[in-house]
Amino acid sequence: AQTVTQSQPEMSVQEAETVTLSCTYDTSENNYYLFWYKQPPSRQMILVIRQEAYKQQNATENRFSVNFQKAAKSFSLKISDSQLGDTAMYFCAFPSRGQGNLIFGKGTKLSVKP
């Protein structure tokens, strides 16, 4: 079965510091995408970053970057220069086989402290 695991239910970080959220997944597929979504208190789901599995280069979006280790099936999110607005739930997501089904991890609640 395809699974996504986020082993850190909660994390906190001081403003301006760097934090890494972990995610592991299990799949037999070779080509796929991986996603990190942010859910602030407003509960909207916002795409933060995506990684294409066939690309060895780690994706980067401004202060957000990933450490993608395909062999280890690991997809961690690094947030640099953390800001108060980064406080949110962060979900790692991975598409199941077929075309419709994103599988989400249980999420990591990140608190950025002033």
Partner 1 sequence: EPEVTQTPSHQVTQMGQEVILRCVPISNHLYFYWYRQILGQKVEFLVSFYNNEISEKSEIFDDQFSVERPDGSNFTLKIRSTKLEDSAMYFCASSEAGTEFSYGYTFGSGTRLTVV
Binding site for partner 1 (CB under 8 A): 29, 31-33, 35, 37, 42-47, 50, 91, 93, 95-96, 98-107
Q: What residue has token string 């082993």?
A: 7
Q: What is the DSSP letter of 86?
A: G
Give 30 or 114: the residue with its C-beta nearer to partner 1: 30
The residue among 47 and 84 lying less far from partner 1, judged by its C-beta, is 47
Q: How far is the CB of 51 from partner 1 (least distance, A)?
A: 10
Partner residues linked to 26 by β-bridges = 3
Q: Number of helices and strands (H, E) in the chain?
A: 0, 12
- Provide, rounded to whole angstroms, the least separation between the CB of residue 8 and partner 1: 14
Residue 77 contacts residue 92 (beta carbons within 8 Å): yes
